[in-house]
Amino acid sequence: MSDQDTSNYDNLVSFLQAKQALGTSINDSVTFLVDNTDPTVKNVVDSATINDWAKAIHTVWIKTITLSQLVEGLGKVNRFSSEDINTTANIYFLEIQIEVDTASILSQHNKDGSSNPIFVDSYIKMTSNHVSTTSGQGTNELDTEELVPNESIEWTAVSKNGSDTIQLKRFHASPINPNADFKAIISDPVPESGSSNKYSSYVIQHPQPDFRKAYSFDFTINNGTQLFTFDPWLGDLSKP
């Protein structure tokens, strides 16, 4: 395939991967390309859109990149407004917050007990930063749809009272669809290093269309032994 047949996105990925392989940071990699006077590089840099840049940066550093790092990296291009940067970067980061009414749960259940998970859906409220593609905001039945290929996903669990702690223990298919294979749309969700209340994943390059399944998180409160659980929805259903 000739350079003329290759998209700006593909070229940016190639350029950025070469810098990443040398251990160069996102900001320094982007700055290197922007300042590069090689005609081939300059032509791509000058003609690439903000969507090309955002997708390329996110793709190359997909396993470690954060929203703030993508915003900073796009800023180094020196061609895009802050409003456009924030709007575009936000597309690639689905942030889901899980608020747990721990006081109500613990008033009915001991935090140290059976390892069999207890459903506590009525004490869960979830919100997403992608309001237009998510229904059930502020409820336990949050339904997140229209996932973007390579989109990063982060779940954060917090207590309603701000003092109890939540430990996310396991992501799995909900008992209502125990055979659901979430590998059809996302990478295996994993605990974030150094954070007991955060899990992260990312959407695969070609998520299965019309996939909608409930998933579950098992969690403990204040490092207890009793597991609790709930089951919101995740999928790739497009709007009609």
What Å distances lie between residue 140 and 26, 180, 230, CA to CA? 37, 20, 8
What is the four-CA torsion angle of 40, 44, 47, 49, rounded to 10 degrees?
180
d(CA 99, CA 103): 12
Tens digits of pLDDT across the chain (240 residues): 334 445 999 999 999 999 999 999 999 999 999 999 999 999 999 999 999 999 999 999 998 898 999 999 999 999 999 999 999 999 999 999 999 999 999 999 999 998 899 999 999 999 999 998 889 999 999 999 889 888 999 999 999 999 999 999 999 999 999 899 999 999 999 999 899 999 999 999 899 988 999 999 999 999 999 999 999 999 887 554
Q: What is the pTM of this model?
A: 0.84
Place of tokens 């859109």: 49
- Transcribe 10-66 into DSSP letters: HHHHHHHHHHHTTT--HHHHHHHHHH---HHHHHHHHH--HHHHHHHHHHHTTTT--
Estimate the crossing angle of helix 50-60 against helix 8-20, to 10 degrees. 40
d(CA 94, CA 128): 7
